[in-house]
Copies of this chain bind each other. A is one copy, B any other.
Amino acid sequence: MNDPELPACPLPIDRYPMVTMAHGGGGRVMNQLITELLLTAFDNPHLAAQHDGAVVSLPADRLALTTDSFVVSPLEFAGGSIGQLAVYGTANDLAMCGARPRFLTLSLILEEGLPIPTLWREVLAIKRACEVVSVHVVTGDTKVVERGKGDGMFINTSGVGELLSAWAIGPSAVRPGDAVIVTGDLGRHGIAVLAAREGLSFDSPIVSDCGSLVAPILALLEAGIELHCMRDLTRGGLASALNEVCLVSRTSLELDETQLRVDSAVRSACELYGLDPLHVANEGRCAIWLPAGDASRALEILAGFEICRGASVVGAVRDSGPGIVTARSAYGTSRIVDLLSGEQLPRIC
């Protein structure tokens, strides 16, 4: 892919068209990669200090920490790429804790032979996504593994966020009677990655929902809505997220299946591949547990954000036996929504 809109790569691609073992060797070639490509792209005073770590100031004494490694295959898909996914994924995890993302660390594991233009494209994707969520990459690390010992690139992003809520947000705060909101339609990301991997094309292209949930979640918190728990719907999809929270919070959940949105192209692809959209990964959707009385105000606020178009109340927390998620269909029938026993679509994040 050659995008004329991208800034030119600052490394001499004619001399080093691809990543070599020397790029991870601690010598001059690695130094050039770090100073000319990475430090130039992410230019900020923390990185410019070129120390073993970054020293940062935070007003809060309660912080949120999170870490994620990204191994998505392929690196690029409709609607996103590994670099964007890494930043939004980690920023979203901080938002799920009720925190404003502040600082990011970036660690790359590159496979020998990765084209430098691919690396540059992902560095720019990381930079743009950092701008969207208002974080800086403050420290980083780069490793190179031999050809056949990695898969292009893996990215770890760890994040530090400043807690905005005075109360604890998480599974332990879930209460019987809570409403559960899902912030949009389901299954886009998993199917977009599957399509890129298998070279599939659908009548209407399926674009990943990969995006930042930071702004809408901060808006809910700033409006004073007492969110009890949030969980983004990544690996294992909505089903895993709900089951995990029900198990830890010892509550049950009854879903109203008519309130779950699935795009018709996603639904068709799921039928074709024998997938349940409730198990397919999303990268810009979350479930929110909150007092039922606040649900309609929350939906009004979420409606102001493009990424939350289609948010709705999908269910309510019950105290009838812990850890069970059920879904009631339009026909009034009810089924148990379980964790998958194994894996369905590997390496979607």
Contacts and interface: CB of A to CB of B under 8 A. Distances in A.
Judged by DSSP, the binding face of A is: mixed
Contacts of A232: 52
B26 A235 contact: yes
A93 interface: yes
Interface size class of A (residues with CB under 8 A): 35 or more
B26 A281 contact: yes
Given A99-B53, A150-B150, A156-B158, A342 B65 contact: no
Given A25-B340, A281-B26, A347-B145, A69 B109 contact: yes
A144 interface: yes
Interface string A1-44: 00000000000000000001110111111110000000000000
A344 B171 contact: no
Interface string A236-271: 110010001000100000000000000000000000
Contact of A156 (B66, B69, B346): B69
B343 A156 contact: no
B54 A65 contact: yes
A327 interface: no
A328 interface: no
Interface stretch (A100-108, A179-187, A299-307, A329-337): A100-108
Contacts of A171: 49-51
Given A96-B51, A141-B69, A27 B341 contact: yes
A139 interface: yes
A126 to B, nearest CB: 14
A140 B55 contact: no
Contact of A144 (B99, B168, B346): B346
Q: Which 8 A-B pairs have the closest CB atoms?
A: A25-B343, A26-B236, A26-B235, A53-B66, A27-B340, A67-B105, A22-B342, A158-B158
25 contacts: A20-B342, A24-B347, A26-B236, A27-B341, A27-B342, A51-B170, A52-B93, A52-B96, A52-B230, A53-B65, A53-B99, A55-B65, A55-B168, A57-B61, A58-B63, A63-B63, A66-B105, A67-B105, A69-B109, A107-B158, A143-B154, A144-B346, A146-B346, A148-B148, A149-B150
Interface of A: 20-22, 24-31, 49-59, 61-71, 73, 92-94, 96-97, 99, 103, 105-109, 138-141, 143-146, 148-151, 154, 156, 158-161, 163, 168-172, 230-232, 234-237, 240, 244, 248, 279, 281, 339-344, 346-347, 349
Given A25-B342, A27-B344, A145-B347, 4 more contacts: A22-B341, A22-B342, A27-B340, A65-B138
